[in-house]
Amino acid sequence: MTIRIALVGAPNTGKTTLFNALTGGRGKTGNYPGVTVEKRTGNYTSNNGKTYELIDLPGVYGLSGRSSDERVSLQHLRGEIEDERQPDMMLAVLDASRLQTHLHSILQFKQIDLPMVLILNMMDMAQRDGLEIDLAALEKQLGFPVIGVTAPRKNGRQALEDKWDTLVKTTVKPTQGRQLDLPTLQAQARKIAKSVIKQSSASHDLTQSIDRVTMHPVFGPFLLMGIMFFIFQAVYTWSAIPMELIEAGVGFLQGGARQIQPEWLASLIGDGIIAGVGSIMVFLPQIVILFAFILLLEASGYMARAAFLVDGLMSKIGLNGRALIPLLSSFACAIPGVMAARSIESERDRLTTIMIAPLMTCSARLPVYALIIGAFIPNQSVGLFNLQGLVLFTLYMTGIVFAILIAFVLRHTVTKGPAQHLLLELPGYMIPKMVDFWIALFGRAWAFVRKAGTIIFATSVILWGLTSYPQTGGGIRDSYAGTIGAWIEPIFRPIGFSLETVIALVPGMAAREVVVAAMGTVYAVQGNEQQVEMGLAALLQSAWSLPSALAFLAWYVFAPQCFATLATVRRETNSWNWTLFLTGYLFVLAWVAAFATFQISTRMLA
3-state SS string for 94-159: EEHHHHHHHHHHHHHHCCCCCCEEEEEECHHHHHHCCEEECHHHHHHHHCCCEEECCCCCCCCCHH
Question: 142 with 115: CB under 8 angstroms?
Answer: no
- Neighbouring residues of 8: CB distance < 8 A, sequence distance ≥ 6: 15, 57, 60, 73, 77, 90, 91, 92, 93, 109
**Measuring CA to CA, how many Å separate 87 from each of 8, 20, 75, 339, 507?**
11, 19, 11, 25, 44
Is 168 in contact with 5 (CB distance < 8 Å)? yes
pTM given for the model: 0.59
Tally of CB atoms within 10 A around 605: 10
List the 38-45 sheet strands across, edge first: 28-31, 38-45, 51-56, 4-8, 89-95, 116-121, 146-148
Contact assessment for residue 415 and residue 351, using Cβ atoms and an 8 Å cutoff: yes
Distance of alpha carbon 150 from alpha carbon 79, whole angstroms: 30
Report the amino acid identity of residue 98: R
Say if CB 502 and CB 603 are below 8 A apart: no
In this prediction, residue 194 carries a pLDDT of 86
CATH code of the region 4-199: 3.40.50.300
Q: What residues does each domain of the chain span?
A: 4-199, 222-420+434-605
Nearest to 293 by CA among 191, 366, 342: 366
- Cis amide prior to 262 (ω within 30 degrees): yes
Q: Identify the pLDDT of residue 36.
A: 47
Strand partners, 132: 198
CA nearest 332: which of 457, 586, 512, 504?
A: 512
CA distances 171 to 77, 145, 163, 197, 250, Å, are 17, 7, 11, 24, 58
- The string of pLDDT tens digits covering residues 521-550 is 777 655 555 554 557 787 888 888 999 999
- The number of beta carbons lying within 10 Å of the beta carbon of residue 132 is 12
pLDDT at 118: 92
- What pLDDT is recorded for position 315? 73
* pLDDT on residue 596: 95
pLDDT at site 231: 79
* 141 closest CA partner among 164, 118, 115, 166: 118
- Residue 315 CA to residue 596 CA, distance in Å, equals 31
Q: Which parts of the chain sit beneath pLDDT 50? A: 33-36, 200-204, 532
CB proximity list for 286: less than 8 A, separation 6 or greater: 235, 236, 239, 243, 366, 367, 370
Cα 368 to Cα 356: distance, rounded to the nearest angstrom? 20
What's the confidence (pLDDT) of residue 509? 65
CA distance 328 to 343: 14
Q: What length does the chain have?
A: 606
